[in-house]
Each structure stands twice: as structure tokens, then as C-alpha cells.
Amino acid sequence: MAKELGHARAMTTILAAQAAEARTKGEALIRTADRLLCESWNERMWADGEPIDPSPTIDQAVNGGYPWLEIECSRCRTKRDVDLASLRHPSTTFVHDLASRLRCSKCAKANRRPPATLLQLVQRPRQAAPET
């Protein structure tokens, strides 16, 4: 019985290590898949010029290394970068659903609220001050 208990304890350690290794590999594969999804969406946005459905979710964009969304005001054509991680939207929200929710702060001062045009997901902001 003692021999079997020792064997069982050794197996728990081995299996726990294998589980941790598999989890690490799985998380890396998911990050790669999310990155490729963002790159694919950017290419389709560039080719078609409009928000494409389906798009990555906010979580997928952030996990894939594209935590910023470049937008343009449909009225004044001002470009801004939006930090997706700081948005007050559920992380399961699709990026293309943000088009009707994001507004230009410059036009808001003039009492106008035109919707934003989504351009692409980016890895780093172009500007220091993101817009939400």
C-alpha cells in the first residue's frame, strides 16, 4: 500500500507539470490565433473599407497584441486611437459593434455627435491622448 501511495504522489506531480505545460502551449496558441484574427480583420477592412462582421472581440484584440483601435470622425475627419482595454464595454463586445458607440470629442464641443469610422486595429497608439 505504501508503494502505491508513493507512486500515486509521484504521478500527481508529473501530471500537474504536464498540465501546466499544456496550458502554457494552449495559451500561446490562443494568442497566436487572436493575433492572426486581428491581422485578417485589418486586411479585410483595408480591402473593403467598412466595418466587417464578424470582427474580433475586445478581449481577442487585446490578447492578440492589438489593444488600440484607430478611428476617424465621419464629420471632421480627425483620426484618434482608442484604448480598447479602457472602454466601459463588456470584453466580449465585437470591435465592429463599437462603430456606432464611439464619438468624436472635437465635434462634441461644437454640439455635434457624428459616429466614428473604424479604420484598423493597431499595436501602438499614434497619439498620446486616446478617445473613448
If we measure between CA atoms, which residue out of 66, 67, 113, 64 comes closest to residue 86? Answer: 67
Provide the pLDDT confidence category of residue 127 given band limits of 50, 70 and 90: low
pTM beyond cutoff 0.85: no
Query: Mean pLDDT of all residues in the chain?
Result: 86
- Tell me the mean pLDDT in the region 114-121: 86
If we measure between CA atoms, which residue out of 108, 37, 105 comes closest to residue 71? Answer: 105
Question: How do residues 7-29 score in pLDDT, each as one tens digit?
Answer: 898 999 999 999 999 999 999 99
